[in-house]
A and B are shown apart, each in its own frame.
Chain A
Amino acid sequence: MNEFVQEIQARFEVLWSNPQRPDLMQIGVRQVNALPLLTWLKSNTGYFILNHFSAVDWIEDGEFQLTYLLTDYAARRSLMVCVRIDRAAPTAESVHHLWPEAVTYEQEMFEMFGISFPGSPRQGVDLLLEGWEDIPPMRRDFDTAAFAEEAFGFRPGRTHTNPRDRVAIAFGQKGFLHDH
């Protein structure tokens, strides 16, 4: 796999590469190089199957990572192309012209992460969340449990007592180093 990364490096800038398994290589490229690289992979190499296409929310870095999983079935090897995009204005180039099946992935990512792919045919059409009004739910700053409680509510009538609190109250646990 390393030779293949060298081959890519000769044409495009590879930021980092990380062999995950003997048959799975992960590389990172700049966003400007992503579409040319994918086009080149699709047309000139065996990696012309788009197996999976998804996003990761790196909220700490302020970035989304788009991961294209391409597979060379003849060689039984896969290549993961990772592209970091800005989280504040997440826009990436659509690859639906290369792989028609990418449309569903792009539609889903728009809905779940808010990443837009200008030109993608079903962009903005609801796939799973009809009439969603909150921030996209797969973003990590979306609090699922709080949303569920607020939007749907739970069946009332449940009470929970923390065992520690109960013991502390029953036996009068105090602290003497601080005034409470």
Chain B
Amino acid sequence: MSLKNALAPFGIWARALARPYTIPVEDIMRAPADRYRGWHTNDAEACIGCGSCSDICQNAAIDMVVNRDATKGDTGLRPMVDYGRCCWCALCVDVCPSGSLGLSSEYTWVDKDPEVFRYVPGVDKKPWDDDTKGWHGGEWDLINHDRVPMSMLPGETRGQTWAEVVLGYSEEEAQREAARCLECGICTAACPAHMHIPEYIGAIRDGNYEQAVNLIYETNPMPEMCGKVCTRRCEDVCAHAKQGEPVAIRWLKRFATERFDDLREVIKADVAPIGVGKRVAVIGGGPSGITVAYYLAIRGFEVNLYEALPTLGGATFFGIPKYRFPMPSLEKQVDMLRGAGVKLHVNSPVDAALFEELRSTHDAVFIGAGLMRGKAMRVEGEDAPGVVNALTFLLEHHLRNNTDSDKVSKEPVVLPGMKVAVVGGGNTAIDAARVSLRLGASEVVISYRRRKEDMPADWEEIEDAEHENIQIDVQAIPLRIEQTPDGRLDLIWGPAEMVADKPGARPKPVLVEGVENHLVVDRIIGAIGQGPNLRWLSPEAQGTIADKWGWIKVNEDGMTGMPGVFAGGDLVNETADAISAIADGLRVVQGIPRWLGLQ
């Protein structure tokens, strides 16, 4: 040991005069790193209460607690975090489909009471609620926002064929898509029939298709129809829809039902035969009528179903083009009715006398006659030859092509080479346009009063129409129709500008005066809505069950003002879609036994 070695360490005494490294007391609560994961924050208004955070938590730290009323698109639950469990892994943030959950950068919480470390972020006010630092996700997500793409016929070729446009999922695709489901059940609130959506998607994911269709049949006797053409409000509220694409609930239902050629072997009903000896007459073979007939038949009721057209299906038969909903699919569902023992009377329009007879011979009568009257466009020259209503057009077309009915005109309304204009923006307008195209129309134009984003038709339908080279003229208000000297029709329209008259309401189209545009076509199809038509009933009966416009009012059991007469479907609800009609039917399925005192 040299002297230098012994003395050198004393040099460290110089440190005694240097500034200490210690953080001063006043700065001790340092701000952490920007992405430090501290206490939870939640935007309680954006949160939808899907419970994904609770499901993924490995420590079972998150409870869903009742915070507000459940609405469509919000379960009314909000996550409550137990900090006696949390380990700040932020899986809950990364999996949050609404992106509302986050972690602030606050990290200090000291208390003598162990019960306080539990709160509902965003609801129980905390000092760190507005902290923008911390971890708020967004850089990556644990959930898959993109749905498995659906394969379709290419747009340029399908205009020449009646083949189904949508090709359907393969098994692998369906399971992959089903695996995206978060199983929160928010969709069931938006579905009018409140179907068991997460359950059957789970069954599809597990490859248990038989269970899946059984779950579907719990509340829907026309799942293949719904799987193809449902308005699918469920997908609008899907938790995935907040930040990405919703789960393809419709395509999954279609996939499950298409797995089986004959569902009669698969569906296992297990209900008490409470209706043995009771007779129910169903007027109208649309979705609501089929629903009532099927579920009452499996309960032992003797059901007579009267349909004016040669085939069942109602609006789903004559309103929906077969490239969307082919006849075999419809036949499959009708077979289920036959299997359940429903007596089908097709080509049997009901008139006032038969109605009275049905009332006297049956314990209950259900009216699901639908909206059979197309609304007029109310423009000058509407009664010119070549101007047809979309409903008439589609009905005539479907009867001609899919039945042996003789109630058809000599030649189709739209002939090859014609130029067709469709007035309207709903699904019916799109259907009429696409059918016209397939009938050989050289050019099809859709003319709509508002903007494209205001169109009530499905955005998928609009896209499909555009892919098929259908022209869409928007903000076009029809003024009058004139006949040109060469026998064609001139649709004169004026441009509209959108005026928002009150906040929140959708803007109204207002005609720009003085400008007139001409659209010269061979056929004009008006598709601006449908209305009820109860003229087949006696005036007294009409007055008892319906208001002066023909809409039927029913009570919570689906019963009209006339005892024993129930109603449902488009005549009753204004949404005018198949799933609402099915929901009406389900209401009556409960209402009739209750009215008959069978429960």
Contacts and interface: CB of A to CB of B under 8 A. Distances in A.
Given A171-B194, A177-B214, A177-B271, 8 more contacts: A158-B63, A163-B50, A164-B183, A166-B76, A173-B188, A173-B196, A174-B194, A176-B295
A55 B217 CA distance: 49
Interface stretch (B32-40, B64-72, B570-578): B64-72
Interface string B282-296: 000000000000010
A175 B75 contact: no
Given A167-B70, A174-B194, A176-B295, A161 B219 contact: no
Nearest to A156: B115
A157 B84 CA distance: 12
Interface of A: 155, 157-168, 170-179
Contact of B115 (A157, A165, A171): A157
B198 to A, nearest CB: 6
Nearest to B187: A167
Interface in B199-227: 214, 217-219
B534 interface: no
B51 A163 contact: yes
A172 B194 contact: yes
Interface string B558-599: 000000000000000000000000000010011000000000
Interface of B: 49-51, 54, 63-66, 69-70, 75-77, 80, 82, 84, 114-115, 118, 183-186, 188-189, 194, 196, 198, 214, 217-219, 267-272, 295, 298, 586, 589-590
B581 to A, nearest CB: 15
Contacts of A168: 185, 188, 194
Contacts of B63: 158-161
Contacts of B272: 179
Contacts of B217: 177
Contact of A167 (B66, B186, B268): B186
Closest 3 CB pairs of A and B: A164-B185, A175-B218, A170-B70
Most chain A CB inside 10 Å of its own CB: which residue of B50, B77, B115, B267 = B77
13 contacts: A155-B84, A158-B80, A159-B63, A160-B64, A160-B65, A161-B66, A161-B77, A163-B75, A164-B183, A164-B188, A166-B64, A168-B194, A174-B586
A168 B198 CA distance: 11
Contacts of A164: 183-185, 188, 198
A178 B49 contact: no
A161 to B, nearest CB: 5
Contacts of A178: 218, 269-271
Contacts of A160: 54, 63-65
Nearest to A175: B218
A118 B351 CA distance: 94
A166 B198 CA distance: 14
Given A168-B188, A171-B70, A177 B64 contact: no
Contacts of B69: 170
A87 to B, nearest CB: 29
Given A166-B75, A167-B185, A177 B70 contact: no
Contacts of A175: 196, 218-219
A175 B268 CA distance: 13
Contact of A176 (B65, B115, B184, B589): B589
Contact of A179 (B50, B82, B271): B271
Contacts of A177: 214, 217-218, 267-271, 298
Contacts of B185: 163-165, 167-168
B324 to A, nearest CB: 26
Contacts of A170: 69-70, 75-76, 189
Given A155-B84, A173-B194, A176-B586, A161 B64 contact: yes
A166 B70 contact: yes
Contacts of B267: 177
B556 to A, nearest CB: 11
A50 B314 CA distance: 78
Given A164-B198, A170-B76, A159 B65 contact: yes
Contacts of B214: 177
A161 B194 CA distance: 19
Nearest to B114: A155
Contacts of B589: 176
A162 B269 CA distance: 27
Contacts of B118: 157-158
B505 to A, nearest CB: 27
Nearest to B117: A155
Nearest to B272: A179
Contacts of A162: 51, 64
A67 to B, nearest CB: 27
B270 A179 contact: yes
A179 B115 CA distance: 43
Given A175-B196, A177-B270, A163 B218 contact: no
Nearest to A176: B295
A166 B270 CA distance: 26
B394 to A, nearest CB: 31
Contacts of B298: 177
Nearest to A157: B115
A66 B398 CA distance: 72
A167 B75 contact: yes
B69 to A, nearest CB: 8
A176 B194 CA distance: 12
Contacts of A159: 63, 65
A166 B78 CA distance: 12
B270 A171 contact: no
A36 to B, nearest CB: 45
B194 A163 contact: no
B223 to A, nearest CB: 12
B274 to A, nearest CB: 9
Contacts of B54: 160
B64 A163 contact: yes
A167 B189 contact: yes
Nearest to B71: A170
A22 B232 CA distance: 55
Contacts of B65: 159-161
